[in-house]
Amino acid sequence: MSIFTKFNFLLYFYIRSCQHNNGAPCHTLFSVEERVKRRMEMVSMTSKEQSLILLGKISCTINMSPMTCNSKRAGVQMERTRQRTAYMMESHVICRETFKFLHAISQDRLTSIIKLYKENGLVPKEKKSGGRSNQRSAYSYEDIKRSVAFITNYSEDHALVLPERVPGFRRESVKLLPSSETKIKVFKAYSSAMVKSNYRAMSETTFRETWKKLMPFILTARPMTDLCWTCQRNNTLIFRGANTPENEKCERLKQQERHLLLVHQERSLYNDMVGEARKTCEANQLTCLHKSTPCSRPISMHYSFDFAQQVHLPSDPLQPGPLYFLVPRKVGLFGVCCEGIPKQVNYVIDEAHLISKGSNAVVSYLHHFFECFGLGETNAQLHCDNCSEQNKNRFVLWYCAWRVCTGLHKSISLNFLIPGHTKFAPDGCFGLLKKAFKRHAVSSLQEFETVVNESACVNQAQLIGKEDGTSFVPVGDWQQHLQPFFKNLPGIKKYHHFKFDAEYPGQV
């Protein structure tokens, strides 16, 4: 996402509506590029330069006449008790909120500048004696732009995918960095990048202020919202180690560092696979999921799959009265996401067809996805959550080996994320789906299918079957089918990455 799109989101984040421009938000009078340029130009100026510009603007539009000028009651004017200020930009009258945003000032500073003009006229505010003066010139527009670009790119790589599901935060559209990604850590990475590129780096204080002012929607998760049990246990040991020996304190810190390093490596591997998949789709002009002949394209593609929490039907956001059903109907969700396009197929599982979340269901849905929505790649890279400790995964391993042995793929890699750090693409698509679901009245599977398809361009629904028992996606007994040909992998809990290759059929 470009920096202009980020600032456009930030403007909507602060200003939702105003009374100018025929009822429409008055910031729409200017293009996104004009808004970004004006705000960042003001930020790059010194405080004295900003005051001069704002004093000039206010002097042109402020009204301090002794009597009011009410056109509707021209004969009955009253004595003016306070000034009236109109806010303009490029001959357009705009609201005060848009004026403050475009000029990067707060309400307190605007009030003080108006007060200064009323008392002294067009005289800039002079710094009082004492205190510390900033001898270094202000950061330029390009310096600020580079810092903003670095923070936004950093958040794209490390932020958790949790739309509409951010615990502890009121705002919905936030980008939440893991609790280990503190601002000082991001600042150190920023400083190193600027030094390597021979650019001027901001100080830590200015970096934090720029982050807070221009990108308030990028936040760091609080430690209490961390979902990893290992992180919480290690942090508890560190917090309660006040009276422990120094060598034990160092060992506890090293233990947490080793865990976070492993998490970072796994996340980097996932991001690299997703990035390669996107480049492959762009190079081959793949824009949608469709039925393709297996192993027909000499490409590598990445897929992620996961279950979501069940939803219940019927559902009404207003809920005018008690439900007709004593027990709501359960509907399961299983998603397979192709990050390269991106597109996710959400399997809608009615309780009449919901056998379990076991290996037969997972393998059946994966098999149907590859048959009906696969891109015909020769090499498949699969990612799933931290269920590597579950017994059902031996059957998923057998299925991957079976696909390679039968020539449906030349190679498959199956990868499991670290427990507690498993937020990935399917969670983002499920979040968009749940966000739309809670705003619609849904009484049947067909209505829920429509909600899924309209929730976002990345979501696509696939019904497993109807309420009357009609089945669209067959669920077979893959355990009995694969049992005679494969054996269990010893020590499966110790591994997170598995590779199957046609050159070594039947081996992992």
pLDDT (0 to 100) of residue 131: 47
pLDDT (0 to 100) of residue 276: 94
Dihedral-angle region of residue 91 (phi above 0 means left; psi in -120 to 50 means alpha; beta otherwise):
left
pLDDT digits (tens, 9 = 90+) for 240-250: 766 788 888 88
pLDDT band, residue 190 (cuts 50/70/90)? very high
pLDDT digits (tens, 9 = 90+) for 442-461: 989 999 999 999 999 999 99
pLDDT (0 to 100) of residue 9: 46
Distance of CA 290 to the CA centre of its chain: 27
Closest CA to 436 of 447, 426, 425, 444: 447
- Kindly state the helix (H) or strand (E) to which residue 7 belongs, with its residue range: helix 3-14
Q: If you average pLDDT over residues 402-414, what whole number do you get?
A: 95
pLDDT digits (tens, 9 = 90+) for 130-173: 444 444 457 888 888 899 999 988 888 887 655 444 555 555 56
pLDDT band, residue 1 (cuts 50/70/90)? very low
Spans of all domains in the chain = 3-66+83-120, 141-226, 268-501
- Kindly state the helix (H) or strand (E) to which residue 61 belongs, with its residue range: helix 47-61
Percent of the chain residues topping a pLDDT of 90: 34
pLDDT (0 to 100) of residue 109: 86
Longest dimension (CA), the chain: 100
pLDDT digits (tens, 9 = 90+) for 266-282: 989 999 999 999 999 99
Residue 387 has pLDDT above 60, yes or no: no
DSSP-derived pairing of the beta strands 84-85 and 92-94: unpaired
pLDDT (0 to 100) of residue 225: 54
Cα–Cα distance for residue pair 6/245, rounded to 1 Å: 48
How big is the chain by its Cα radius of gyration, in Å?
A: 29
